[in-house]
Amino acid sequence: MTRTKVCIRIDIDTVRDTQVLPVLLGILDQFDVPATFFVTTGPDMTFRNYRNYRNPLKLLQKKAIQQHGLRQMFRGMVYEQQVQGSENLQLIVEKGHELGLHGYSHYEWMNTLPKKSKEEIKAWISKGCTLFEDACGFGPRSFASPGFATSNEFLEALDTFRFDYSSDFRGTEAFYPEHGSYRSSTLQLPVCERSFGELGSEGHSQEEIYHIIKNGLDTARQFFVFYMHPSYEPILNRDLLIKVLGYIISSDGLEIITMHQLAKHIKRRGLPENPANI
């Protein structure tokens, strides 16, 4: 029986994400499953997002404090912190998980990428690669764009780095992007479902989120990629995460692998024959 390939993508966007990594790694250890992590590089500027709160007092609510960390929320406003500077990143590699690059300067990338030229984006990615290698001791072989932000200029810049694959879109099929006469040479492995946090913000209950993820797993044709953040799902949705992982492990038709393994599997079988227009 051919089993559906399942990938757990974990985005490390902030210093807070690195601080609580051991919690998530402990859960993955509990189920003995591999995951694919993407770490952003450069300064943590997420404090700028706090201005988007209509009521600043919401930052003092229990869930906000659990997710962001009270000290961390205010520390980021005082001095610059580099996301890739945490020693906890080494735990990812030591435990056998995959670690790729999640761009440079997450906040700025998400908010200004469409305005950047190909050369400016190449400089961003190059700087991210350098910081990643300085921190981890090896260069990144995979990429994921912060906030799923893309542009034609980005896709052309991305190809110059020859990553094994990238994960910059949402969807259900692997593909090579195409715009105009340009066909990207970088395989795209899209995220197939919204995160627990996104589904929760849409008003779904924990039980509804579980069934949405379960349905996605059960109906996936080739693979299913879902993603999370260390400071949210394992902290605020621990029981739900354990329930989802338990379902995957108990299912004979599902197999958890890294996204690198999925990319190799797809390239070997030659599945993405028809490039997608974007």
pLDDT averaged over 10-residue windows placed end to end, the chain, 278 residues? 92 94 97 98 72 45 49 51 92 97 94 96 98 97 97 98 98 95 97 95 96 97 95 94 98 97 93 54
Question: Residues near 12 by Cβ (< 8 Å), separated by ≥ 6?
Answer: 18, 21, 37, 38, 39, 40, 83, 89, 102, 229, 230
For residue range 249-265, list pLDDT tens digits in order: 999 999 999 999 999 99
| pLDDT, position 45 | 75
| pLDDT, position 243 | 98
| pLDDT, position 221 | 87
**Separation CA 187–CA 181 (nearest Å):** 17
DSSP E strand boundaries for the chain: 4-12, 36-41, 98-104, 142-143, 165-166, 177-179, 182-183, 223-228, 254-256, 276-277
Q: What is the pTM of this model?
A: 0.88
| pLDDT, position 71 | 54
CB-CB neighbours of 32 under 10 Å? 8
**Separation CA 242–CA 238 (nearest Å):** 6
For residue range 130-144, list pLDDT tens digits in order: 999 999 999 999 999
Domains of the chain in start order, with CATH, are 4-277 (3.20.20.370)
CB 97 within 8 Å of CB 90 = no
| pLDDT, position 186 | 97
| pLDDT, position 81 | 83
* Secondary structure (DSSP) of 78-133: HS--BGGG-TTHHHHHHTT-EEEEEEESHHHHHHHGGG--HHHHHHHHHHHHHHHH
| pLDDT, position 52 | 45
